[in-house]
Structure 1
Amino acid sequence: MKTLKKIILVVIVIIFASCSDVVDVEVQEGPKRLVVEASLDWEKGSEGNVQTIRLRESTPFFSTNTNMEVTGASVVVTNEGSGASYNFEDQGNGEYLTTNFEPVLEQKYMLRIEYNGEIYTATETMTAVTDITSVFQGRKEGFDDELLEVHVVFTDPEVEGNNYLFKFQREGDLLPDLETAKDEFLNGNEIDWWYEIDEDDDTEIEPFKPGDVVDIEMYGISKAYYDYIKILISQLGGVGLFESTPVDVKGNCVNTTNPENYAFGYFRLTQVVKTSYTFVED
């Protein structure tokens, strides 16, 4: 009897397994759009003459095709004050390069891209950044007083409306963390900006420990770019109960030929200071 029951059970499993159908769900795909990565970043102490702009086309969410680089476009950046123009030469891999760019603080520049018979334009101002005066480690200022954190100290200029983008990347980590700040309540004061890493069992990310090296970049950014990047950062964590729903975030690149076919991405011009810190035993 037990043997008979086992045979019947196996037959039932086989029947149900053989009756399962593959259901193809048709996912609606949006139109392909030009994606513009045009960050002209001028590191303090450098000439800033070598700059790269990257162009590609957007891909459907479930697509495995990563070869979407755009070639054959015309890319020009113009200093609207002096009239000087800088041609970005097509490198054949989605990158467009110039080696003679001249960055001028507080000067407005215009980006012009011609691709597939359409013209995209954007304007932005080269935004200055103050110096980092000190970098040190601690444990008391973060959300967890047992975790190491790095502190970046700088003095905000007295002029109002300064906005900052911070990029922290521990050596060996795959991706950096981005954070934004503004001087709305701290104008003209010394600012101590701290950063720590929480332990995450799902991604196997560990907090800072002695010997870790973290690379730090601080950018001066415009108010418009601050608003743009703040929305993107809020969406990086995915969708949760208290998190933002991912939506299309339009940058400042406008399609003047066909406004409905707008581009993704942003044209920004920033000054940046870079440093690194190595954690020690405390």
Structure 2
Amino acid sequence: MQNSIKFIALLFLCTLVSCTDVIDVDVQTDTIRLVVEASLDWEKGTTGNEQTITLRTSTPFFDTQSTDVVGAQVSVTNDVNGEVYLFTDQADGTYTTDTFNPQLNASYTLEIIYDGQTYTANDTMNPVADIIDVFQDTEDGFDDETIELHIVFNDFEAEGDNYFFKYERPQDLLPILESGDDEFINGNEVDWWFEINEDDDEEGEIKPLAPGDVVTINMHSISRPYYNYIDIVIDQLGGVGIFESTPVAIKGNCINTTNPDNYAHGYFRVTQKNTVIYTVE
């Protein structure tokens, strides 16, 4: 009886092994599109004349070939005074200029001519408030044992200011992004605090702020359309567990005027920004 059981078990195992098949799964692909990385950021205290725009194409998920776009014609026009800034093709997907002249409250139009099609986008450069102070504390965050950073600034009296913050540490693979507006803080001194909790990253790869951490803080003043765009991006990047956002296709502001259905991914923005480097104590 025992030998019979062993024989049946062996036969069953052989059956499982012999039934192993290789299954080819068709991965859904999308239309290959132009991808635009065009952030013209003017840091306070600099001329802002040197700017870079990066162009690539989207690719299938498992494709590892280069997607750099070369041979495009790229320009940015100041819609207020008509100045045109030509961006030079560096043959590696980047297009650069050293003649950009940033102007606050001016509207700018990007034009890209590539592969026989023309793409355009528009954004407005708004002034950013001065950062008065940066300090650390443990009292205002969600965890009274976790260090938070405070960025203090005076919001402008006029309503409608929108902000974008980017926090970077050398040890982190990606920066942490935040957005906000002045709906409830208009015209006041603002204490904007930033904290990293263990629960913010379910993989445990982003650690809370600790003594010795060097944090680069970028504070941008952004247009309302860009605020609406980046707010969705942040929601999709930041949700975890039951609070995870449902992925949706995010369209930027780059319009294909030749063939509207063949729109580009990415966004063209112009911002003024403050940059502060803070070492946690």
Same fold (TM over 0.5): yes
Task: Answer yes or no: is the 8 Å Cα contact 1:86–1:98 preserved in 2.
Answer: yes
2:74 equivalent to 1:54: no
1:52-91 superposed matches below 5 A: 52-60=52-60, 62-91=61-90
2:219 equivalent to 1:221: no
Q: Which residue of 2 aligns with 1:147?
A: 146
Separation in structure 1 between the aligned mates of residue 123 and residue 259 of structure 2, nearest angstrom: 21
Q: Which residue of 1 aligns with 2:203?
A: 202
Task: Answer yes or no: is the 8 Å Cα contact 2:122–2:268 preserved in 1.
Answer: yes
Task: Answer yes or no: is the 8 Å Cα contact 1:37–1:265 preserved in 2.
Answer: yes
Q: Specify the code of the residue in structure 1 equivalent to 2:166.
A: K
Cα distance, 1:108 vs structure 2: 1.0
Task: Answer yes or no: is the 8 Å Cα contact 2:36–2:266 preserved in 1.
Answer: yes
Separation in structure 2 between the aligned mates of residue 33 and residue 114 of structure 1, nearest angstrom: 14
Q: Specify the code of the residue in structure 1 equivalent to 2:204.
A: T
Separation in structure 2 between the aligned mates of residue 196 and residue 239 of structure 1, nearest angstrom: 17
Q: Which residue of 2 aligns with 1:232?
A: 233
Mind listing any 5+ residue stretches in structure 1 that lack a counterpart? Answer: none
Task: Answer yes or no: is the 8 Å Cα contact 1:113–1:119 preserved in 2.
Answer: yes
Q: Which residue of 1 aligns with 2:107?
A: 108
What secondary structure, in the 3-state scheme, does the structure 2 residue paired with 1:71 have?
Answer: coil
Q: Which residue of 2 aligns with 1:136?
A: 135
Separation in structure 1 between the aligned mates of residue 3 and residue 134 of structure 2, nearest angstrom: 74
Separation in structure 2 between the aligned mates of residue 204 and residue 251 of structure 1, nearest angstrom: 29
2:259 equivalent to 1:279: no
Cα distance, 1:201 vs structure 2: 6.2
Mind listing any 5+ residue stretches in structure 2 that lack a counterpart? Answer: none
Alignment RMSD (CA, Å): 1.7
Q: Which residue of 1 aligns with 2:254?
A: 253
Deviates more, 1:76-85 or 1:215-224: 76-85
> How many equivalent pairs are there?
279
Q: Specify the code of the residue in structure 2 equivalent to 1:39.
A: S
Cα distance, 1:135 vs structure 2: 0.5
Separation in structure 2 between the aligned mates of residue 127 and residue 69 of structure 1, nearest angstrom: 31
2:27 equivalent to 1:32: no
Task: Answer yes or no: is the 8 Å Cα contact 1:239–1:246 preserved in 2.
Answer: no
TM-score by length of 1: 0.94
Separation in structure 1 between the aligned mates of residue 148 and residue 161 of structure 2, nearest angstrom: 24
What secondary structure, in the 3-state scheme, does the structure 2 residue paired with 1:241 have?
Answer: helix
Deviates more, 1:172-181 or 1:23-32: 23-32
Inter-CA distance 242–58: structure 2 relative to 1 (3 Å threshold): same
Q: Specify the code of the residue in structure 2 equivalent to 1:233.
A: I
Separation in structure 2 between the aligned mates of residue 102 and residue 6 of structure 1, nearest angstrom: 83
What secondary structure, in the 3-state scheme, does the structure 2 residue paired with 1:161 have?
Answer: coil
What secondary structure, in the 3-state scheme, does the structure 1 residue paired with 2:228 have?
Answer: helix
Cα distance, 1:250 vs structure 2: 1.1
Cα distance, 1:64 vs structure 2: 3.3
Cα distance, 1:162 vs structure 2: 0.3
